[in-house]
Amino acid sequence: MFMYINPKMVKFPVKSDKKMKKYMVIGDPVGHSRSPGMQNAAFERAGLGRPYGIRHVVPDELPEFFEYARKNLAGVNLTVPHKQQAVLLADELTCRAERCGSVNTLLISDGRILGDSTDGIGLEEALKYCFDEELTGKRIVFCGAGGAARATAVHLAGCGCREISFINRTLNKAQELADLCRKYYPDLISCCTVPGDEKSVAELLERADFLVQATSVGLKPDDPPALAEKFFHPGMNLRIFDTIYHPTGLQKIAGKFNIPCANGKEMLIRQGAASFELWTGIKPDLEAMRAGFEEEITGRC
């Protein structure tokens, strides 16, 4: 049985636990993760020490890790490539994790593991914060239909958007995701195309309010832009949100044409903040998390 802790009932700072609760991020690879810096900054600001570590876990080790976590940890963040497999290993899922088929957060209580997905709320809050806009009635185009799009698209569909469409190299993955969104929100407009269908891509981008770049193209410094420069021009109505949090070719194009653009930093902070609140019942200090995000990567375990 999982208890939701009312933040008002939590003594501040919490010191009652005899054994300090431990948390960590796992992934493969995971060495680049900014989660320890930003989560420990939030814990420290709340008077809870620095209980958040990092561990490299390969996919074959995930079931074993769940057994370790069940006995030793209070919370976990999962990154690539564990988000889908974790759906099958958790004892229970939140409704939003079940809908998108992705888990990025574990809450462990009395030896039971609840799987949740905070990526969608992370993207929603980042879009609103970075562009100071509501999402009701908006048209969103995802570039990509892999894990990042899957974890967030259904949530955005629930934010009152009018259209969520997908441009993806593999068309059937785009169609699957569009079908998943329409399963829960039948009134949603959702079109799918491939980057090579230039007419459809241009039409989608011309009418969109937001382009969410959710492919892995741009992770390597010499990657080309996720979408070609010819699709963009000055004066577009578009805002670009690139889920990658370091400079990419797409962000460069946005700069060249004065298209408002944000990188994935705020999304990472907001999804982490939602995990923190699930674990502690406390709203974290976002400024502390933003400063922690920039910290040197330390504290491996």
User: Which residues of this protein are in contact with ligand ATR, per CB under 6 A?
Assistant: 81, 144-148, 168-170, 173, 215-217
CB of 276 to ligand ATR, least distance (A): 24
Q: Which is nearer to ligand ATR, 98 or 176 (CB)?
A: 176
* Catalytic residue chosen out of the listed positions 21, 83, 138, 265: 83
Instruction: Locate all alpha helices (DSSP H) within the chain, ordered by sequence.
Output: 35-45, 62-72, 85-89, 95-100, 119-131, 147-157, 171-184, 198-207, 249-256, 265-280, 286-293
Distance CA 83, CA 169 (A): 21
Q: Is 192 helix (H, G, I), strand (E, B) or coil?
A: strand
User: Which residue lies nearest ligand ATR, judged by its C-beta?
Assistant: 146
* Joined tokens for residue 242: 């690139």
- SS3 (DSSP) at 213: strand
13 or 224: CB nearest ligand ATR: 224
Question: Which residue's CB is nearer to ligand ATR, number 117 or number 168?
Answer: 168
- Identity of the residue, 105 or 280, whose beta carbon is nearer to ligand ATR in the bound complex: 105
What angle do helix axes 119-131 and 265-280 make, rounded to 10 degrees? 130
Q: Record the tokens describing residue 243, joined without a space.
A: 């889920």
**Shortest separation between residue 180's beta carbon and ligand ATR, angstroms:** 14
CA angle 286, 86, 185 (to 5 degrees): 75
83 is a catalytic site residue:
yes
Find the shortest distance in angstroms from Cβ 78 to ligand ATR: 13
Q: Could you tell me the smallest distance in angstroms from the CB atom of residue 217 to ligand ATR?
A: 5
Give me the active site residues, please: 83
